[in-house]
């Protein structure tokens, strides 16, 4: 019996995507579409997203055909011995190449929509623990900024509310770059720190917490917000030391999205215009998150595969200073290097294993 490398069951979806990629390429070549900026931009984006999977699919087809040809030659009872020996020697390399491209296809198939997200809003908030929680939230901010820049992402601080002792009560960042959501998707949830605070006279270990939310930043066209009808805007003077310009001009902005009740306040900038622009960006993201939460909840209840879903009651990771240990509770993994994690932003070991776990869970649901 001749051996054969058959396609996985999910390959039919990839074939459909390859066909759609060809259709889009054909549409892009039509003069009436090529001259329409809005249409051609949309098609270029769709084609780029499809090609992310179609390119390795073409490699898969080539190597699978070569492997099956080698199987056929080797398993032919009447075949030429010298040719069979040559084909046999090629099989291990072909099998290895095929396994590698299959893994690439698996990863890109299950992360397709998420991989297309190029901009996220990252929110860090101090939780229980008072000043110590705020100090810990500040360390998380440093960790994520360092990690983002080390991986080539652009970081923009939209809002940072400092605490009295040098920590932060809240920070809202925009992080952007190719596949940025894939890089941060597992960070959403509750983070806990165990250590002796500087203010603790008796040397007792305290536990404090901070929460992290990771949300895709939608393009404005994805969310239909009527800023005139759906949003109430309140303008006030920003707080600060008396006599400064920040108190003399009504620059602080508070937006209220009437349909959802979502509110956003922004007072970081002296310019009312800049505060309004920042507040609208955050409002867009929060409304987007609100509208998509129902869909995510349905998906999560069906297959419970969304590791680090963003539920702020989750305890996803503990940072234990006495033991110099960081534990990710989702995969029960310890790393004994808090300086490398919190200061240098090197928590890639966690992300690699979390991604592998997520991949297996999602493949089971295909």
Helix (H) or strand (E) holding 337: none
Burial classification of residue 295, based on how many CB atoms lie within 10 Å of its CB (0-12 exposed, 13-18 middle, 19 or more buried): exposed
Closest by CA position to 192, among listed 205, 206, 208:
208
Tokens representing 262 are 């979502």
Give the burial class of 208: count Cβ atoms within 10 A of its Cβ; 0-12 exposed, 13-18 middle, 19 or more buried: buried
Distance separating alpha carbons of residues 217 and 223, to the nearest angstrom: 10
What average pLDDT is seen over the chain?
A: 84
70 touches 87 (CB < 8 A): yes
Question: DSSP assignment, residue 260?
Answer: T
- Give, as one character, the DSSP assignment of residue 237: P
Integer Cα distance of 47 and 81 in angstroms: 46
Burial of 5 by CB count in 10 Å (0-12 exposed, 13-18 middle, 19+ buried)? middle
Both tokens of 17, joined, read: 């995507």
pLDDT in tens, 271-292: 888 888 898 889 888 888 887 7
Q: In this structure, what token pair is assigned to residue 33?
A: 């579409």
- Give the DSSP letter string of 278-315: HHHHHHHHHHHHHHHHHHHHHHHHHH---SS---TT-E
Which residues, at least 6 apart from 104, have a Cβ–Cβ distance to it below 8 Å? 56
Task: Give dist(CA 335, CA 350) in Å, integer.
Answer: 9
* Cα Rg of the chain, angstroms: 26
Write out the two tokens for 291.
Answer: 């509208």
Q: Which residue has the tokens 């900038």?
A: 269
| Contact (CB, 8 A) for 260 and 284 | no
Tens-digit pLDDT string for the chain (366 aa): 668 888 888 888 889 999 999 998 898 888 888 888 778 888 888 888 888 889 999 999 999 999 999 999 988 888 888 898 898 999 999 999 999 999 889 888 888 778 878 899 899 999 888 889 999 999 999 999 999 999 999 999 999 999 888 899 999 999 999 889 999 999 988 899 999 887 676 778 888 899 888 888 766 445 678 888 888 988 887 654 444 444 456 678 999 998 888 999 888 777 888 888 898 889 888 888 887 776 556 434 433 433 334 333 458 999 999 999 999 999 999 999 999 999 999 999 999 999 888 888 877 766
User: Order of strands, edge to edge, in the sheet holding 262-266?
Assistant: 231-236, 252-257, 262-266
pTM check: above 0.75: no
C-alpha–C-alpha distance, residues 4 and 149, integer Å: 46
φ, ψ (nearest 5 deg) of residue 268: -70, -35
């Amino acid at each position: 019996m001749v051996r054969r490398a058959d396609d996985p069951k999910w390959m039919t979806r990839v074939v459909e995507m390859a066909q759609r990629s060809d259709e889009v390429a054909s549409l892009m070549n039509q003069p009436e579409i090529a001259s329409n900026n809005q249409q051609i931009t949309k098609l270029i984006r769709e084609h780029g997203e499809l090609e992310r999977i179609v390119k390795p699919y073409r490699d898969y087809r080539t190597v699978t055909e070569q492997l099956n040809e080698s199987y056929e030659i080797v398993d032919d009872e009447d075949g030429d011995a010298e040719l069979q020996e040559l084909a046999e020697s090629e099989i291990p390399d072909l099998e290895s190449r095929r396994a590698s491209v299959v893994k690439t296809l698996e990863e890109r198939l299950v992360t397709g929509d998420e991989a297309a997200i190029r901009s996220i809003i990252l929110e860090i908030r101090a939780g229980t623990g008072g000043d110590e929680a705020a100090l810990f939230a500040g360390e998380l901010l440093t960790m994520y900024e360092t990690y983002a820049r080390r991986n080539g992402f652009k970081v923009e601080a939209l809002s940072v509310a400092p605490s009295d002792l040098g920590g932060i009560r809240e920070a809202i960042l925009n992080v952007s770059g190719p596949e940025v959501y894939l890089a941060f998707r597992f960070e959403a949830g509750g983070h806990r720190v165990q250590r002796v605070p500087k203010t603790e006279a008796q040397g007792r270990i305290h536990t404090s917490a901070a929460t992290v939310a990771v949300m895709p930043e939608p393009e404005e066209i994805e969310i239909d917000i009527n800023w005139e009808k759906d949003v109430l805007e309140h303008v006030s003077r920003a707080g600060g030391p008396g006599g400064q310009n920040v108190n003399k001009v009504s620059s602080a902005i508070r937006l209220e999205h009437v349909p959802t009740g979502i509110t956003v306040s922004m007072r970081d900038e002296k310019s009312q215009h800049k505060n309004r622009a920042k507040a609208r960006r955050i409002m867009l993201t929060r409304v987007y998150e609100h509208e998509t939460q129902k869909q995510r909840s349905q998906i999560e209840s069906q297959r419970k595969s969304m590791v680090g879903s963003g539920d702020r009651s989750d305890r996803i990771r503990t940072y234990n200073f006495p033991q110099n240990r960081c534990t990710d509770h989702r995969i029960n993994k310890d790393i004994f290097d808090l300086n490398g994690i919190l200061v240098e932003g090197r928590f890639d070991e966690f992300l690699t294993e979390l991604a592998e776990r997520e991949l297996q869970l999602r493949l089971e649901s295909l």
